[in-house]
Amino acid sequence: DFAVLLNSGMTYKQALLANFGSACLCYLGLIIGLILGFKTAAVQYIYGIAGGMFLYISLVDMLPESIQMIQDLAGKSKKKGFKILLVQNLFILFGMGAMLLLSFYEPKIKKAKW
């Protein structure tokens, strides 16, 4: 997080303060999550919100940076840019496949004795 803040144009002091503030808010989120986690009806909404936040971060922040990296490398070497594009897409497909497998085997996972 700190490197991303510095890369976005913040000074060292601003990035440190922002990172500290977000770390402190994590504890507040932990407490709220633990309180709501005991209510079984709220768990599905917590998972939905958390999943949505991960999707938002990846699609709005990380994906444009990945595209920019590909464009920068493609300007230098088309072959290197294509390799990066291929690796990025393979890992996106790998993540989607992992989620698909988890959704197929969810009933068996829930029944498993740990």
Mean predicted confidence (pLDDT) in 96-103: 90
- CA gap 24, 46 in Å, rounded: 20
Band of pLDDT at residue 17, cut at 50, 70 and 90: very high
pLDDT of 110 reads 83
Per-residue tokens: 54: 């991960």
Handedness of CA 78, 81, 86, 87 (dihedral sign): positive
Q: What is the pTM of this model?
A: 0.50
How confident is the model over 33-76, as pLDDT tens digits? Answer: 788 777 767 778 888 888 888 888 877 877 788 788 778 877 77
Write the burial class of residue 81 (CB in 10 Å: 0-12 exposed, 13-18 middle, 19+ buried). middle
Mean predicted confidence (pLDDT) in 73-91: 82
* Cα 82 → chain centroid: 24
